[in-house]
A and B are shown apart, each in its own frame.
Chain A
């Protein structure tokens, strides 16, 4: 019945799907398509939302509740707005996901579990509304996100909760002020594996010690990247040449602590806590050579994709198969060295330059040749 699939893995999300997956999923799809390995997952398309809404027969009911309320009031009180929102959400929560779509989502979640080798793999379920595609997307990210969702029943439940989050008081007010039609805004949902990092950290697509643009500098430690970002652990440091893909520097530091996923008796979900590292791992490199190169390659891909030096956060997900386990968590432009110019300023006259080279040889300085 639908021209658009129920759910699409990020890796298969093409440009033509973008109108049906919302801004969040479109961006994950674009990154996957560019060879930037985000944590795996899939988009539940707006088709599912639209079909559920149509099947429920309550589309007009929502309009009635929302527009009715807002139309009547010249100045709406916060309490009244929240009442209207709660009422609308109740209605949305009565929508059933049509079986055809539910089957497809079950299938895709099962594949994610198989890829991770975990039954009921924990995922993040995030709203991805189409209104985020509007020129003024400042509302992006204001809808619900659920972390550590386990099992298909929970996933399906949280998908519906994301739909319902279209009708928070803030969202309703925002659309009202922007003059958007509440019934024309659809909701897609991103279901994305929670990363369980064996190691994580940051990477720069230049050497921050000297601005060398040929280097990719990686800081890495065990567990979650918090320890690297906050600086409470001295990370391992690696320098990779982005043309030759050789590892030119390795500094292995004693990593006494790590941020690890820890079961806490009083809590529903495991928590990320700072814990001591087992003694035999303290001085072990936190990355294998293959992992170092995989992270360097994804940093370089991000740099090429965004067209400027990048500062990225990455993780090696312990649940994913080797070779697919290095994932990109975040990329932003590098700001320190990118603004400076690193000009060699060699003499353009070749003979004069050769004389310079001979009279002031590089080898006069220690450490310029490997020995």
Chain B
């Protein structure tokens, strides 16, 4: 077994990707100036959120997210042993490194943490209620931002109102405002999350001490909510499918293409009533990404309504077959109570039962945030932000800066301010901007590099592995543990039985044919009874979980989306196998053991 991973300084540039560094913020690159620090650290590839090579602007959310996460650890709550999580981009891929607090600082941080975190825990429900208001206000403000082409002349109203400023100023300000709101969004994202995980880990640790062999998913099951906002979009689809059947308009969906379906629906009263219900559900619930929400290419239901309409059509067929689409909420509640009751009864003393109750109680207080924030931030708010960015792209496309509105994502975040300045200045002066002559070929070059980067297989880790992984959020969020690091180090040296191992994230043992898919675009390829093998899954893939037999992912831990959804659907899942999509081929027969976390290819 090797004792370290490759140095980030020894990783070659993929063929055809020379100059890739131009695509990313200078501060996010490995560099000579910080070599001593960077070369001695441990870096793992974050495939949970960023499995593919990033385009330049898409690094915005990466940088905002990691800085915000870190800031709460380091500067707000003073998590005693942990500073933040450092981030780099290498060959277009995201590498993260947990930064421990210096040992000599830990003790002094403890009382500060207790006071600060204690305040949040003590006022959790009120603060979370406030959060829900804040996040809705934030999304509302994002929604109200507008990016429109600059007019040939300002409206008379600008004159008569004495506004004293014009559309170009507004355009630049709107972009700055969009960035400010996006950073605020990510500040809000981590306002509760780290503390939520800390409370959960405390309960987790207690359970592991009381019952050394307790499966992680038993602990997750005791804490997990049953009514989770992340399931709401799927529930809305089912509701709409039932409505279509009960109001006798389900045959309209036979048409297949959305335009025809809509035309038929609009032709009479029951159809229009259905559309009204659709619209009610769509805002906000169909602001739902088919991916992790971190890529501008992730399709969003509300903008690609063939996706949710396709799911509704499938559900209509099931309703007509007499299937009960309802999630068995009462049964899930009863099962959760059973699991809690039985473990509790196995404890040896009233004192232990008291501690168990207190920790479980706090975990359940904090967990709704942990489970629900993802819809509000990565799905809803990001959907709005991507939409606004495309509007901005259309402005630049109309001005001849770029050939296609999506090219806007080939600009770096801060570079785009300069581009808008160029547009504005040309407009203001009434003379040519430099952009239309400068950018199209540069964007072509960047696209070529990005295509080359997408082919590069990012290694799971770089640098010097820590003796032990102690940063708690690294474990919770990314599923990185001392054991998984050891497994990565020994991989490639020939696994004993050609098998893969990962987290036993959802129990059960099945065999079946593999279907390897790399993105949401391939969802349509999945056939009934297949085992889904993917870099990761997204909550919006929920409707396919009725088709598949099991899930294997490259990345993610016990709390990854695949794990949560598979537990919900009662499917076996093995997450965080690191190499699943690289070693498994579509059509191979797999055995997936969600009890032990083993995946075996049965026919080589």
Contacts and interface: CB of A to CB of B under 8 A. Distances in A.
B80 A355 contact: yes
A347 B354 CA distance: 10
Interface string B210-222: 1111111110010
Interface string A355-369: 111110111111111
B81 interface: yes
Contact of A212 (B211, B358, B576): B211
Contact of B218 (A213, A244, A289, A346): A244
Interface string A335-371: 0000001111111101111111111011111111111
Q: Which of A343, A351, A365 lies at the interface centre, i.e. has the most chain B CB atoms within 10 A of its CB? A: A351
B362 A207 contact: no
A239 interface: yes
A243 interface: yes
Contacts of B121: 350-351
Interface in B577-604: 595-597
Contacts of A366: 468, 482-483, 486
A345 B351 contact: yes
A344 to B, nearest CB: 5
B507 A358 contact: no
Contacts of B541: none
Given A213-B211, A241-B213, A344-B352, A370 B358 contact: no
Q: Which of A246, A345, A369 lies at the interface centre, i.e. has the most chain B CB atoms within 10 A of its CB? A: A369
A289 B509 contact: yes
B117 interface: yes
Contacts of B470: 361, 363-364
Given A341-B349, A357-B198, A243 B339 contact: yes
A307 to B, nearest CB: 12
A351 B204 CA distance: 15
17 contacts: A207-B213, A214-B211, A215-B213, A243-B342, A246-B504, A346-B352, A348-B354, A353-B202, A353-B355, A354-B117, A357-B201, A358-B79, A358-B82, A358-B198, A361-B470, A366-B468, A370-B597
A248 interface: yes
Interface residues of B, number: 66
A356 B201 CA distance: 11
B123 interface: no
B179 interface: no
B114 A363 contact: no
B249 interface: no
Given A213-B348, A242-B342, A351-B121, A344 B210 contact: yes
B110 interface: yes
Interface of A: 207, 210, 212-215, 239, 241-244, 246-250, 289, 341-348, 350-359, 361-371
B161 interface: no
Interface of B: 79-82, 106, 110, 113-114, 117-118, 121, 198-199, 201-202, 204-206, 208-218, 221, 338-339, 342-343, 346-349, 351-352, 354-355, 358-359, 362, 468-470, 472, 475, 481-484, 486-487, 501-504, 507, 509, 576, 595-597
B595 A247 contact: yes
A358 B351 contact: no
Contacts of A350: 121, 199, 202, 358-359, 362
A246 B596 CA distance: 9
B355 A344 contact: yes
Contact of B213 (A248, A289, A362): A248
B483 A367 contact: yes
A275 to B, nearest CB: 30
B355 A212 contact: no
A212 B118 contact: no
